[in-house]
Amino acid sequence: MVRHLQLLFIFAFSLLLLTGCGGGSTSGSTTSWASVGVTSGSRQVTVNWSKLTAKATGTTTYNLYWSTSPGVTKSNGNKLAAVTSPYIHTGLTNDAMYYYVVTEVVDNKEGSESLEVATMPKAVVPLAPIGLTVAPQNGAVQIKIDRTGAATTTKFNLYWSKSADMKSSTKISNAFGSLSTFQHTALTNGSTLYYGVTAEGPEGESAMSKIVAAMPLADISATNYQVDVSPARIAAPNAVTAVAGNQLTTLGWNMPSSQFPTVFDPSATPTMTPVISAYTVYWATVPFTNLETVNKITVPVSPTAKVKLPMSYTHNTGLVNGTAYYYRITAVADADANGNRLKTADGKSLTFESQASSLVMVVPEAKAPAALTGFSATSGTQKITLGWTKSSTANTTYNVYYSSSAPTTPEDLVSPAHLITTTSAVTYTHSGLQNGTSNYYVVTAKAEGESAPSALIVVKLW
């Protein structure tokens, strides 16, 4: 009796092992699958498999069954007969899920299905351009892009609009050609224009860059002072540029060669020759013309030192990525070349401030790596091993996101609630998984910012 119970236990345990590994067959072919894996590509999926044991003898081939719905079997799947591992399934539609199982055929007897794997092919499109430089000019705006890392065949398209929402934008295809700058001409001075840029490769067009804006404006030269007519003004800063970075904006500007006015009112004439002693950076998160209603930053310069032009200033206090920041700049003179305060003959202090420069706007953002490619998952005993291609961005780490329930989109997995590890390696083994569950994964690369998610991969452990 004891011997009988022992044999019964061994038989039941063996059957459990075969079922847990996707093995077992009622048709004479017995296969225990060591692993079944899947790798996502663009318009294609690679499926690979290996056997733990091979008890059958004879001529062996493999069939692959696929479907765009989960629960694929020999009876409901599309059959790819007599394939070998790894098998590359081509001609697929990007952003659609494909599910796979594999079977072993020995002497024309087909075994049962392996566990199910699935993934969503994903096109490799360029990153949205970042770090655009905007430079308003007289009747024109110059846009500069950073081509670093872009393929020579990449096209950069320019979109422009008179409204910040870009809903009625005009597209200029391949506006930059092989260059890094584009000159948008024949514009009306005093009107603000908004710009976005996309990068286009063989497999598609990127998302749009952060929007930048500029107001073309003619140089404002020094204006003479006449009694009871107008205040004396020094020339306004020109050649203004703005480029956004991670939680910061870098501004640049120059000054016209003729900077200072002739003052015709003897009672307001300084006794010394003025020099520029500071610049004022006015800024807000909305377009503005009234300088009295916005924030301002004083950028002092030494009256006694030779100031190098063009000027540069980095605004990096309290800026929020994804928020638009608008800027105008004025020049201030209240001292002479020796650092003495400007005064009239009767001792009254004088300060000259220019009119405001043209308006510029940029949106700070963190530089993110490209989305990962070559994302793969291979099943094991209550574990799944993930792998991906190393990012070309320096100092990159990788976030692995997981769920036991299907997300609506790969982006839905990218949240702290689904993060299971952050690693600098290009592989990760997720252990302690339960049979009978589907496991959903995406991986992102993170440097300054975080990339878009990889393709979605699903592995079901039986």
Pair 106, 56 in one domain: yes
Contact 357, 237 (CB under 8 A): yes
Pair 265, 335 in one domain: yes
Instruction: State how far the Cα of 380 lies from the Cα of 250, in Å rounded to an integer.
Output: 51
Pair 408, 446 in one domain: yes
In a domain, 350, yes or no: yes
Pair 431, 341 in one domain: no
Read off the pLDDT of residues 415-461 as tens digits, 9 standing for 90 and up. 999 999 999 999 999 999 988 889 999 999 999 999 999 999 999 88
Cβ neighbours around 309 below 10 Å, total:
13
Position 7 pLDDT exceeds 70 = no
Greatest alpha-carbon span in the chain: 125
Contact 140, 216 (CB under 8 A): yes
Q: What is the pLDDT of residue 54?
A: 57
Instruction: State how far the Cα of 195 lies from the Cα of 209, in Å rounded to an integer.
Output: 9
Q: Span 255-276, mean pLDDT?
A: 88
In a domain, 271, yes or no: yes
Pair 112, 139 in one domain: no
In a domain, 172, yes or no: yes
In a domain, 371, yes or no: no
Structure tokens at 89: 């399934």
Instruction: State how far the Cα of 350 lies from the Cα of 347, in Å rounded to an integer.
Output: 9
Confidence of residue 213 (pLDDT cuts 50, 70, 90): very high
Single-letter residue type at 448: E
Q: Span 118-137, mean pLDDT?
A: 96
In a domain, 312, yes or no: yes
Pair 168, 207 in one domain: yes
Pair 144, 66 in one domain: no
Structure tokens at 72: 């694929």
Position 11 pLDDT exceeds 90 = no
Instruction: State how far the Cα of 379 lies from the Cα of 381, in Å rounded to an integer.
Output: 7
Read off the pLDDT of residues 293-321 as tens digits, 9 standing for 90 and up. 999 999 999 877 777 789 999 999 999 99
In a domain, 128, yes or no: no
Triad 156, 158, 162: Cα angle to 5°: 165
- Number of domains observed in the structure of the chain: 4
Phi, psi of 417 (to 5 degrees): -65, -25
In a domain, 249, yes or no: yes
Phi, psi of 17 (to 5 degrees): -60, -45
CATH at residue 446: 2.60.40.10
Structure tokens at 195: 């710009």
In a domain, 221, yes or no: no
Of the residues 93, 119, 145, the one at which a domain ends: 119
Where would I find the H helices in 302-367? none
What would the DSSP string read from start to end of 101-138? EEEEEETTEE------EEE------PPPP---EEEEET
Read off the pLDDT of residues 219-255 as tens digits, 9 standing for 90 and up. 999 988 887 778 888 999 999 999 999 999 999 999 9
Cβ neighbours around 409 below 10 Å, total:
12
DSSP designation for 390:
P
DSSP designation for 16:
H
Residue appearing with tokens 């048709």: 27
pTM listed for this prediction: 0.85
Contact 209, 244 (CB under 8 A): no
Residue appearing with tokens 């982006």: 411
Pair 262, 306 in one domain: yes
Containing structural domain, residue 181: 133-214
Residue appearing with tokens 């072919």: 29
Structure tokens at 334: 């209240």
Instruction: State how far the Cα of 234 lies from the Cα of 227, in Å rounded to an integer.
Output: 17
Pair 445, 351 in one domain: no
Q: What is the pLDDT of residue 1?
A: 42
